[in-house]
Every structure is written in C-alpha cells, then in structure tokens.
C-alpha cells in the first residue's frame, strides 16, 4: 500500500503581504520555514517512509521540501523539480494586494478568479488550465511510482495541489470553489496496487 503525501509550501513573503504570487519566485518567511519544520516533525512522528519526492521549480516549494525532509531525518530521497507542478500563473494580478484588488473589481469577481474552475484572471491561468498541465504529469510520472508501491511526497502550491485533490476526491467544479489547501499540513492518500485511493487523512 503506497502513500502520496501532498504538502503545500509554507508561508511565503507575498502570502504574508497578502499579494497574488503565481509564478513570481518569492522566498519563505521565517514562519514558513517553521511550518515546513513542523511538517517534517509530523512525518517523522508518523513513521512515514518517503521513497521519492517531486516539487515545482519555485523556491518556496523547493525550500519547504528541503526543510521538511531535513527535519524528518530523510536525506537520501531522489527529488525531481518540474514546472508542471508550479502554482497557477496569475497574470496581471501577480504582485497586487488581494484586498485592494477586491476593492477595485469586487469581492465576488476576485473570488471567482481565485477559486473557480474555468475563469481566468486577466492574462493568467484558470484552475482548469493548471490542471491541464499538472494532471498529465501526475498520471505519467507520479501514479506509476504509487502503483509500484513507492511512497511519494509532492511539495507544491495551493492551486497545483487543488488540481490533484479535485481529481483524487472526484470533486465537481462547484465543490472546488470552496477547496483551500492549508500551508504545510501533510495530506495523505493511500493507494492500492491498481492506483485506486483507499484512504485519505491529514497529519
């Protein structure tokens, strides 16, 4: 029985500043580093083996993975970085303050840009667009590892992970509107040898 551990990166500088981040490569805050350490402690306490890890090419996800694995005492895991796992691209909203953007365009419009399945922010990607690059990578690279019985840790982003969770939990486009992935809370899926989900829980 293989396990998939999904981990959203710790707090970034622009999370702290309440800005749309997307593909802008901002660092973790001190709180974000501590959140990554705590995730590592939880993984260690649960006795989870990690056989292989995947992350985006953005430093907040890479650093979260590095800190988490170090804290868990896991130092010999092969790590693959790929832009397929990057956060969704927020286009013209990147760098803007979320509250100021809501005041300008309306809270409901900004919620649709942030949470809906197929509505793109200006110049950016929708969750549907994000899923169309994340899920083929998941099926081609990650699912075979799980079917082979290997435990996989993915350190990525709120929306790239929302795309995976939407698929695994068979969520509707309406359901995903309310889905939020918390920072650095390990979400565990257990798979059988055919690649079917048989359990889900958080650490």
What pLDDT score does 108 carry?
A: 93
| 40 contacts 71 by C-beta, under 8 angstroms | yes
- 2-202: CATH topology is Rossmann fold (3.40.50)
Residue 115's pLDDT band (cuts 50, 70, 90): confident
Residue 45's SS3 state is helix
Could you tell me where the beta strands, DSSP code E, fall in the chain? Answer: 2-8, 52-55, 79-81, 152-156, 187-191, 197-202
What pLDDT score does 93 carry?
A: 96
Residue 5's SS3 state is strand
Structure tokens at 97: 């303050």
What pLDDT score does 177 carry?
A: 81
Averaged pLDDT for residues 122-148: 97
Averaged pLDDT for residues 39-65: 98
**What positions carry a catalytic annotation?**
9, 87
pTM here? 0.95
C-alpha closest to that of 6 among 45, 44, 50, 47:
50
**Cα of 73 vs its chain's centroid, Å:** 22
């Amino acid at each position: 029985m293989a396990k998939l551990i999904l981990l959203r990166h710790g707090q970034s500088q622009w999370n702290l500043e309440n800005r749309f981040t997307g593909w802008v490569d901002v660092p973790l805050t001190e709180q974000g580093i501590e959140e990554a350490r705590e995730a590592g402690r939880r993984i260690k306490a649960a006795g989870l083996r990690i056989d292989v890890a995947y992350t985006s090419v953005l430093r907040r996800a890479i650093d979260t993975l590095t800190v988490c694995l170090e804290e868990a005492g896991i130092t010999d895991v092969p790590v693959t970085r790929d832009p397929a796992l990057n956060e969704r691209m927020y286009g013209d909203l990147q760098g803007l303050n979320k509250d100021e953007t809501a005041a300008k365009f309306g809270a409901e419009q900004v919620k649709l840009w942030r949470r809906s399945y197929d509505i793109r922010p200006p110049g950016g990607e929708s969750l549907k667009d994000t899923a169309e690059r994340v899920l083929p990578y998941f099926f081609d690279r990650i699912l075979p590892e799980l079917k082979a019985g290997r435990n996989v840790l993915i350190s990525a982003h709120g929306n790239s992970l929302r795309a995976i969770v939407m698929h695994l939990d068979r969520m509707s486009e309406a359901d995903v509107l309310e889905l939020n992935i918390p920072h650095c809370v390990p979400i565990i899926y257990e798979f059988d040898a055919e690649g079917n989900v048989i359990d889900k829980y958080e650490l």
